[in-house]
Structure 1
């Protein structure tokens, strides 16, 4: 198509498309068909207060049928605030014995908690590829984070056995199909520990989806709920393949 366009522009002139352009175009086509395709997974190091954490993650937002193989901007934002001793999040985590992360993905948030505090940290997700990636990243950083499979639809007993003091979740509010099982898990956390604090952080990509979640949350959860707008300061370190945009609003829900 590109060559045809060039030829049509030059039609009628005495000029012609140089052979080098044809050759370069053919080379580019052959590269796209020989398996180079999407960017390969790579190691990425995050720095918070000069403290490095290296993750092996994908460079595309969706890979192997899941979005959990890349670190999303809400997780980066939450990790930054965990390092800030002035935040409620940091203070609650500092006094927690058990911390549960829902939808941990590549594990940034869980591993930051493991690095900073003495609590037992459970990084949970459901996809087998994501769980394998989690294990790899935990081992890569020599951390004690425990990787646990958790299906929100069927595994409420996992939460019952953990009884977390703090629950953290980043970028888990994106599909209303998952809202009911997610809320069931949150209710179980609060039932097992009435003092449990739950932090949910995300980006408002679809206002209707966000409002539906907030409405269901207020209806189902009979605890104090605080919703705050979070300044998006992580766009400079976002994954280039991410769909996050600088003008998207970030929020945090604190339950308990």
Structure 2
């Protein structure tokens, strides 16, 4: 029973490009001592490197090379039968050229998946918005457990980054309309590409200047039961109240937007503008608490603005592979 489960754990971690050290290598080493060691390695290969998602949307060449090298080391440390496929795959990857982007694939409980193109650099083009952070995974898991909050409603996501949380919600929670938003031009471009990559076609976005155009990108519209998708450029510091209210959001969510004291006042100012609507939206914000002082400042500023908040329970089921993060907090705000 350990073999299939172990291969599935390698699959989830590999396809999502998680750090190699987080994969269950020690358990693999134990299982390779049995006579079925080679078949287990073959199963892992076909669930990772050779999985259809791993072939079409692969992790970086460096990641795949290190993964295969580690598999070979584990294999050679046992008396398992030779597995030529390991060496053939590694030889093919050694001849490849690295690019600036890679893919990450997250498997959904429905059997579908979220595929993202990410920058290989944590900071790229002057922004950290081109990679997926753990708070986004945490927020998506919570959303999937509480999908009725999003079903048939209009959802506005602040600081969407490259789109993981929103795409997961669009594929699993059946919102009526989903509005992805961000501000940095390179993030908006990558976000729009990832939306198309997952077979959604966004309508022209709502901006304070000109609409974001989605022409020229690949992707086919999904059926009519899927949400209307919009990509919006939102500058928190100067977004007009009318633009926000015209979005008619029922739910507002955000992940990892409380990381810099300098943007807290702009974020809270925008939330205050949402109060002016006929019915203020429900607001949920997930944060990785890297600097407790910044997080406490955010809570204090919420209080000064008259915005109540409460910590809501973490999701009970781990769906996406991520680091154990006791310092990821999920707040519900009452604006």
> TM-score when scaled to structure 1?
0.74
Q: Aligned residue for 2:112?
A: 51
How far the C-alpha of 1:113 sits from its partner, in A, is 2.3
1:74 pairs with 2:135: yes
What CA distance in whole angstroms lies between the structure 2 residues aligned with 1:95 and 1:62?
A: 36
Which runs of structure 2 are paired with 1:14-53 in the superposition (5 Å)?
Answer: 40-49=100-109, 50-53=111-114
- 8 A Cα contact 2:137 2:320, kept in partner: no
Q: Aligned residue for 1:107?
A: 163
How far the C-alpha of 1:225 sits from its partner, in A, is 1.8
1:197 pairs with 2:272: no
What CA distance in whole angstroms lies between the structure 2 residues aligned with 1:67 and 1:234?
A: 25
- 8 A Cα contact 2:141 2:319, kept in partner: no
How far the C-alpha of 1:40 sits from its partner, in A, is 2.6
1:115 aligns to what SS in structure 2?
A: helix
Structure 1: state its 5+ residue gaps. 1-37, 239-244
Q: Aligned residue for 2:150?
A: 93
Query: Which of residues 124, 138, 161 in structure 1 aligns to 2:181?
Result: 124
- 8 A Cα contact 1:73 1:234, kept in partner: no
Q: 1:229–1:81: structure 2 CA closer, same or farther, 3 Å change rule?
A: closer
- 8 A Cα contact 2:152 2:175, kept in partner: no
Query: Which of residues 223, 226, 233 in structure 1 aligns to 2:310?
Result: 226
Q: Deviations over 1:93-151 (max 9, x none)?
A: 1252x110000000111212222314111100000000000110111111242111110
Q: Aligned residue for 2:15?
A: none
Query: Which of residues 225, 232, 238 in structure 2 aligns to 1:154?
Result: 238
Q: Deviations over 1:35-86 (max 9, x none)?
A: xxx97311111112032010111233211110110011011111122222xx
Q: 1:193–1:175: structure 2 CA closer, same or farther, 3 Å change rule?
A: farther
Q: Compute the RMSD of aligned alpha carbons.
A: 2.4
2:235 aligns to what SS in structure 1?
A: coil
Structure 2: state its 5+ residue gaps. 1-97, 202-228
1:168 pairs with 2:253: yes
What CA distance in whole angstroms lies between the structure 1 residues aligned with 2:169 and 2:319?
A: 22
Q: Deviations over 1:204-231 (max 9, x none)?
A: 1001111000010122134x42124637
1:135 pairs with 2:196: no
With a CA cutoff of 8 Å and minimum separation of 6, indicate the structure with the bigger relative contact order. Answer: 1
How far the C-alpha of 1:255 sits from its partner, in A, is 1.6
How far the C-alpha of 1:201 sits from its partner, in A, is 0.2
What CA distance in whole angstroms lies between the structure 1 residues aligned with 2:161 and 2:297?
A: 24
Q: 1:99–1:187: structure 2 CA closer, same or farther, 3 Å change rule?
A: same
Q: Aligned residue for 2:302?
A: 217
Aligned residue-pair number: 208
Q: 1:115–1:221: structure 2 CA closer, same or farther, 3 Å change rule?
A: farther
> TM-score when scaled to structure 2?
0.57
Q: Aligned residue for 1:250?
A: 328
- 8 A Cα contact 2:141 2:315, kept in partner: no
Q: 1:195–1:150: structure 2 CA closer, same or farther, 3 Å change rule?
A: closer
